Amino acid sequence: MSKRTLVILSLLLIFLLGASVLMNFALVVSAPFRGMSAARAPGNFREIERYAGSRDAKIVHIDIEGMISSMGGSPFVPGSSLIQTKRMLEAAVADPNVKAMVVRINSPGGEVTASDALYHAVKTAASKKPVVIYMDSMAASGGYYIACGGTHLMANETTLTGSIGVIIQALNYKEMFGKVGLNSVVFTSGKFKDMLSPSRDMRPEERVYVQGMVDEMYTRFLGIVAEARSIPVEILKSGIADGRVITGKQALSDGLIDETGYIEAAYKKARELGNAPNGRVVKYGGELGLGQLLGVLGSASTEAGKPTRVELSLGDAPFPKLQPGAVYLLPAHFAL
């Protein structure tokens, strides 16, 4: 790496550090004008006031946004952080001044395990304090799975929800390999080790095995919905739990939610359930620091004989690409 490159990278680092300091300073200075509380919630979350009210009674607003995944959470990459969302729920439960929570979900779903972990976190919080679920533009499949952990489920009439089902996708390029003269050579320790291999046709026993996994996870999903909504499993299986996406209005008619309305109605319901008619609505927020800014930077190329290159990445698409063979709670069109 040349001396000139090192100077440029040093200047870039100083610039980012200065930008981080200025942004945090601006947040602190502007707090009184934006209703931002100087106090911090348990877990060191900054409280941002959305609606004024009692200082001793709070309703906490928590967002679950984008693809549900164990990864993600960068301020510039769509998708909520699994760990941070769980910490926010725990902080709200630990704060004696928090009387209820509103969890806003705007997600098409995502990974099975991540969805199940957030469902468990929401249900655990709801066992301690009321949790009103508000479904925004979309709360389908894994998004609805999480919602089932709440105390009271709400959606807009135009919300897309439902999609109760499980999906695994795999790409097969065997015919393309044959056309270009390529052949895959694989050594395995067992006949299922290269299951879903894209370079060959699936064997009948593999199809049975994969379908069995899908059915097992689908049965779990059905059980969660049946318990949360008091709808028999057989009625779900023979009706709306066939993977279809429905509107909030239809979801109310089918018993998947309790009420339709706007986010303000969700705050009102949370105040009612939390016995805090004048509860102040706050949202948890973190600080945008240098570490988060640097987290979106790509790698620098330092190959011999080539000029040094620094790349900035802001993400590839609104939703991450699905991994072949992974199990998802998603509407089918997200798996294409």
E strand spans, 150-212: 152-155, 160-162, 167-168
Instruction: Put residue 230 in one of left, alpha, beta given phi > 0 → left and psi -120 to 50 → alpha.
Output: left
The structure tokens listed for 156 are 């807009």
Is the separation of the CB atoms in 106 and 133 below 8 Å? no
The answer to whether 334 touches 319, Cβ cutoff 8 Å, is yes
3-class DSSP state of 46: strand
Geometric angle at alpha carbon 229, from 224 and 231, rounded to 5°: 90
Q: Among residues 58, 16, 52, 13, which one has the least CA distance to residue 36? A: 52
Q: Please, what is the end-to-end C-alpha distance for the chain in angstroms?
A: 42
- Please give the Cα distance from 192 to 209 (Å, whole number): 9
Q: Which of 157, 146, 145, 117 is closest to 252 using CA atoms?
A: 157
Contacts of 43 (CB under 8 A, 6+ apart): 87, 88, 90, 91, 94, 284
Residues annotated catalytic, as ranges = 141, 193
Residues 136 and 104 sit within 8 Å (Cβ to Cβ): yes
